[in-house]
């Protein structure tokens, strides 16, 4: 019987209105393999089962009419491959359906889209090329609040017709008794849901956001090596970018990169921290500002899911506020941090690091030829060296510095006691890296009081020119001291600047501590990090936290302790070395902070190369910009074509000359024909 010509909104099902908490449908089969192996229902590995399940579906699809295959037909092939009984095959089918129900999530925003169609008087239908039954799909849609009485579900396996061929669309038209232009179809498949539907005459509203992007594809491709964890990260990435609202195209880019690159990298690190804390039986983990802010936020969310009993704290600290209180003697090692003079070094800001005003040592400065007029001027290297020698050799200054350090240390100890860090509980401190100098300072402060020293957890540790302490500190991604991990990545990808950018906080640097009304509070350089907030830090943080909340961490399905470093490194590599122009534009104006405390300054992460950079780059043999924090690949995309060509040519010529002249010099010296300096000037 022909139905009334009511307008219809048809929705594809998977990755349009519901999706999975993993990257691709095939990931479900590996998870299923883990379940079956744990239940001793299969004799092969979970990875082998996943391959068998995928091949079974491929064969069944080829043999089925119009490729519309049912789950029963697929498991008939699995049964033969594994030598199962009919009963065992049926049990595996049911377990797969149970797993599907467990990992299915509503696509964020799908309920609103469906309701909007209902509000406009459209009848809602669901249409799917799927081996699962319509009753199963209807149950999932109902569970997630997407199904109402009166809706209809058309599934390819029950009609023997698929959307890919167009036959399922025609079956829908015949059964509903409507013309094609009475239907608006929404789906995610570029061919089946868009091109084929348009060809038949349906109105089409594509929903392609549910498809995995390039970062999610990278993460999912490591599913076997990570025993499902990287695929769960791909699923969490998709859910995060579909959940977090944005106000501009720039925010959309920031959100998507945060979901696919930043969140997997940081969450992998925090999972490792929580695991190590449990293995070491630590009772407390302290995340040190400012890099620790986002890590602390991630840890709180993961701890709930993983049922971690360790107490998590966020504590304020910085080199600027901890280094001076840590001085217990005057020598090159304990004063080394003062000579980190990136930024705008002046007499005032150099001496301010040890709380000394130029007026206090005016006579000594005059003896060095540093007059009052020079106190606020940019200092050349000669004067800097003179002040360094003065601080190291002047006995009166030693007493003054040690006195200031003692006063600051007393306040810091009150703060640490206030935060419960002076008790006898074993605890760990969390930082990003890179030399572990912050932990060095904290340990000197605690040692002076005979207190427990913390374990240190770092994303990466570099070799320390002042010596490496190998005890009570561990690194996740790389450890140059021990020659472990992915140490080749940080110079090539600029990992240091990226991690510091990814771990930016919404408050300023801790400059000092002050005691007010019996409470010790941090003194911040600024209360709110306005430049970063204006840039879009909130979108990054919200997305990372949403990722953590949506990450599937069921140990019966995936290995939550799996090593995801290679997977996350590959996603990072894709972003850093092969960014899109839109990604570069979104991240180019990220305000990078260079320097220490009051001496710091802000620079842009990426600016196009200019003609003046070509000579510098030719001489150096590598692309050179105005500051070391520049994102080279991003800067290249922002560079005018002619300048970019000239820069690349200069680098090629520079490399050619280097590889030609050096062997020639060596040959000339060996033959002792003529001095190399006379031959090549």
Residue range 561-574: average pLDDT? 95
DSSP assignments along 397-440, one per residue:
HHHHHHHHHHHHHHHHHHHHHHTT-SSS--EEEEE--SS-HHHH
Q: Give the pLDDT confidence score for residue 664 in this predicted structure.
A: 59
DSSP code, position 122: P
pLDDT at 426: 93
Q: pLDDT tens digits for 571-623? A: 999 999 999 999 999 999 988 776 555 556 677 888 888 888 888 888 877 77
User: Domain spanning 8-17+107-211 has what CATH number?
Assistant: 3.40.50.1000
Q: What is the pTM of this model?
A: 0.90
Q: Which two tokens stand for residue 92?
A: 């595996």
Name which of 44-53, 200-209, 274-283, 521-530 the model is least confident about: 521-530
**pLDDT over 50 at 676, yes or no:** no
Determine which of 40-49, 303-312, 646-655, 658-667 has the lowest per-residue pLDDT on average: 658-667
pLDDT at 661: 65
pLDDT of residue 137: 98
Residues 6 or more apart whose CB falls under 8 angstroms from that of 124 comprise 8, 9, 10, 11, 114, 117, 118, 148, 151
Average pLDDT over residues 463-475: 76
pLDDT band at residue 1, thresholds of 50, 70 and 90? very low
Beta carbons of 446 and 296 less than 8 angstroms apart: no
Q: Which pLDDT does position 467 carry in this prediction?
A: 63
Tens digit of pLDDT for each residue in 321-332? Answer: 998 899 888 887
Residue 418 — pLDDT band, cuts 50, 70, 90? very high
Give the long-range contacts of residues 105-108, CB within 8 A, separation 24 or more. Answer: 105/18, 105/19, 105/20, 105/21, 105/144, 105/239, 105/550, 106/17, 106/18, 106/19, 106/144, 106/145, 106/146, 107/15, 107/16, 107/17, 107/18, 107/19, 107/210, 107/242, 108/239, 108/242, 108/243
Residue 366 has φ and ψ, to the nearest 5°, of -60, -35
Question: Do 590 and 257 form a contact (C-beta atoms < 8 A)?
Answer: no
pLDDT at 3 exceeding the cut of 60: no
Q: Are 303 and 274 in contact (CB under 8 A)?
A: yes
Residues 361-410 pLDDT 10s: 888 888 888 888 888 877 666 777 787 788 888 888 888 888 988 999 99
Write the pLDDT tens digit of every residue in 73-92. 999 999 999 999 999 999 99
Flag whether pLDDT at 301 surpasses 70.
yes
Q: pLDDT tens-digit profile of 232-285?
A: 999 999 999 999 999 999 999 999 999 999 999 999 999 999 999 999 999 999
């Amino acid at each position: 019987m022909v139905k009334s010509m009511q307008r219809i909104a048809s929705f594809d099902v998977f990755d349009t209105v519901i999706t999975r908490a993993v990257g691709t449908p095939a990931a479900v089969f590996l998870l299923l393999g883990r379940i079956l192996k744990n239940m001793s229902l299969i004799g092969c590995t979970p990875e082998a089962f996943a391959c068998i399940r995928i091949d079974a579906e491929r064969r069944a699809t080829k043999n089925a009419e119009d490729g519309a295959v049912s789950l029963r037909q697929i498991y008939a092939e699995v049964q033969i491959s594994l030598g199962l009984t009919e009963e065992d095959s049926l049990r595996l089918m049911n377990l797969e359906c149970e797993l599907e129900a467990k990992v299915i999530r509503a696509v964020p925003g799908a309920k609103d889209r469906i309701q909007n169609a209902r509000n406009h008087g459209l009848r809602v239908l669901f249409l799917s090329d799927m081996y699962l039954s319509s009753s199963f799909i209807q149950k999932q849609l109902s569970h997630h609040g997407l199904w109402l009485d009166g809706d209809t579900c058309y599934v390819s396996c029950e009609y023997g017709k698929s959307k890919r061929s167009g036959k399922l669309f025609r079956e829908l038209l015949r059964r509903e008794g409507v013309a094609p232009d009475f239907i608006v179809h929404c789906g995610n498949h570029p061919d089946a849901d868009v091109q084929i539907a348009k060809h038949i005459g349906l109105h089409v509203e594509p929903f392609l956001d549910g498809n995995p992007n390039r970062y999610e594809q990278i993460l999912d491709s490591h599913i076997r090596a990570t025993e499902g964890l990287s695929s769960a990260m791909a699923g969490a990435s998709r859910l995060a970018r579909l959940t977090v609202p944005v106000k501009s195209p720039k925010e959309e880019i920031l959100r998507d990169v945060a979901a696919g690159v930043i969140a997997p990298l940081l969450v992998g690190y925090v999972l490792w921290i929580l695991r190590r804390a449990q293995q070491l039986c630590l009772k407390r983990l302290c995340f040190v500002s400012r890099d620790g802010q986002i890590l602390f936020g991630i840890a709180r969310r993961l701890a709930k899911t993983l049922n971690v009993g360790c107490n998590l704290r966020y504590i304020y600290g910085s080199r600027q506020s901890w280094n001076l209180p840590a001085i217990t003697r005057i020598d090159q090692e304990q004063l080394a941090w003062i000579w980190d003079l990136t930024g705008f070094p002046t007499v005032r800001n150099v001496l301010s690091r040890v709380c000394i005003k130029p007026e206090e040592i005016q006579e000594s400065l005059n003896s060095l030829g540093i007059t009052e007029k020079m106190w606020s001027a940019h200092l050349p290297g000669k004067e800097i060296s003179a002040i360094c020698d003065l601080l190291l050799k002047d006995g009166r200054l030693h007493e003054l510095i040690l006195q200031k350090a003692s006063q600051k240390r007393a306040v810091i100890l009150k703060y640490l006691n206030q935060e419960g860090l002076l008790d006898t509980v074993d605890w760990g401190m969390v930082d990003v890296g890179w030399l572990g100098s912050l932990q060095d300072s904290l340990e000197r402060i605690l040692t002076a009081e005979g207190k427990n020293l913390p374990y240190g957890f770092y994303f990466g540790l570099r070799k320390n020119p002042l010596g490496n302490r190998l005890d009570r500190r561990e690194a996740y991604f790389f450890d140059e001291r021990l020659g472990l991990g992915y140490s080749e990545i940080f110079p090539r990808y600029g990992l240091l600047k990226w991690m510091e950018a990814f771990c930016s906080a919404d408050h300023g640097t801790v400059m000092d501590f002050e005691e007010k009304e019996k409470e010790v509070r941090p003194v911040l350089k600024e209360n709110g990090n306005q430049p970063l907030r204006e840039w879009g830090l909130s979108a990054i943080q919200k997305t990372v936290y949403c990722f953590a909340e949506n990450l599937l961490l069921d140990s019966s399905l995936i290995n939550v302790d799996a090593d995801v470093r290679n997977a996350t490194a590959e996603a990072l590599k894709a972003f850093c070395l092969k960014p899109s122009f839109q990604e570069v534009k979104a991240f180019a104006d990220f305000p990078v902070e260079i320097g220490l405390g009051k001496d710091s300054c802000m620079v842009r992460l990426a600016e196009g190369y200019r003609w003046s950079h070509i000579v510098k780059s030719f001489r150096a043999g590598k692309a050179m910009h105005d500051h070391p924090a520049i994102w080279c690949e991003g800067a290249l995309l922002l560079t005018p074509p002619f300048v970019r060509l000239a820069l690349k040519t200069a680098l090629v010529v520079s490399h050619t000359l280097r590889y030609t002249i050096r062997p020639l010099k060596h040959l000339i010296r060996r033959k002792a024909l003529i001095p190399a300096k006379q031959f090549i000037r």
